[in-house]
Amino acid sequence: MLEGAHLVAVNIPVGDHITRGGLNLDTIYTTAVACAVVLGTGLYMARKATAGVPSKLQLVWETVVGTVQDQVDNSLGPKYRNVVPLAVAIFMLVLVADWIEILPGLFHNTDYAPSPTADVNLTYAMAIVVFVLTNAASIRVRGFGGYIKHFFRKPVAMFPLHIIEEIAKPLTLALRLFGNLFSGGIMIALLISFIPRFWAASIIFTPVWKLFDMFIGVIQAFIFALLTILYFQFATEDGGH
């Protein structure tokens, strides 16, 4: 039994990608699919958007945009409405990217498409953008001197921790999302690899886990977007957090 489990575990690829010229083609492919879905539905809906009775698609977009807008208004105030496109883009892209995992794949794993958010390249990219923009907002509000000074706020001896905290924000943002989706992919691969020996359990639990993964996808998209807004709030409020 233990020997069987060992053989199953050995067969699961962890962190492997289809690469060419230093590019993870599978991640780029799934990212392109996610971007196409987000922009395609968004542009289609924007062309048909009406102030009358909205379509279901428009209702979904309006719900997301309205929720993000309310959150931005409550946390930052209406003058920071330019954060809304960033937060909406994060939520929609992460959500669609997370949900790609429930589809059958085309590359090295035909049982599921690895989510692009299960690759640090996308999560780092999004986190870097958030990091740069929140720090730019902090400098704009506090001035460069005030920005530097806020790392040395009282107690001054804690300034190394303040700097580490600032660096940890984008890292945790990226790795939290990556870790959840990466482990979700491993779980699906594990369940699928059960088929030869425990086919009944695999047939029952694979769809259950995929549905749970969809729930995790929503939660992670929400957390990433919410933390982005909160980081802007911390960066722009008087005296930092």
Give the residue, chosen from 5, 7, 9, 46, that forms a contact with another protein under the rule CB under 8 A. 46
130-149 positions binding another protein, by CB under 8 A:
none
Residue 202 and residue 189: Cα distance in Å, rounded?
A: 10
Of 185 and 210, which CB lies nearer to another protein in the complex structure?
Answer: 185
Q: Quick check: 114 and 26 in contact, CB under 8 A? A: yes
Print burial letters for 201-219: b (CB count within 10 Å at least 16), e (below 16). Answer: ebeebbeebbeebbebbee
Residue 132: which H helix or E strand, with range?
A: helix 120-149
Of 31 and 206, which CB lies nearer to another protein in the complex structure?
Answer: 31
Give the residue, chosen from 12, 75, 80, 84, that forms a contact with another protein under the rule CB under 8 A. 84
Print burial letters for 45-73: b (CB count within 10 Å at least 16), e (below 16). Answer: beeeeeeeebeeebeebeebbebbbebbe
- Positive or negative: CA dihedral 110, 90, 227, 126: positive
Q: Does residue 88 bind another protein (CB under 8 A)? A: yes
Give the residue, chosen from 103, 128, 203, 204, that forms a contact with another protein under the rule CB under 8 A. 128
Of 139 and 175, which CB lies nearer to another protein in the complex structure?
Answer: 175
Of 139 and 186, which CB lies nearer to another protein in the complex structure?
Answer: 186
Q: Is the peptide bond before 54 cis (omega within 30 degrees of 0)?
A: no
Give the residue, chosen from 98, 119, 166, 213, that forms a contact with another protein under the rule CB under 8 A. 119
Q: Does residue 125 bind another protein (CB under 8 A)? A: yes
Q: Does residue 28 bind another protein (CB under 8 A)? A: yes
**Structure tokens belonging to residue 146:** 């005030």
Minimum separation from the CB atom of position 193 to another protein (A): 16
Give the residue, chosen from 49, 168, 201, 211, that forms a contact with another protein under the rule CB under 8 A. 49
6-25 positions binding another protein, by CB under 8 A:
13-24
Q: What is the DSSP code (8-state) at residue 55?
A: P
Residue 140 and residue 148: Cα distance in Å, rounded?
A: 12
Q: Which residues form the interface with another protein (CB under 8 A)?
A: 13-24, 27-28, 31-32, 35, 38-39, 42-43, 45-47, 49-52, 54, 58, 61-62, 65-66, 69, 82, 84-86, 88-89, 92-93, 108, 116, 119-122, 124-126, 128-129, 175, 182
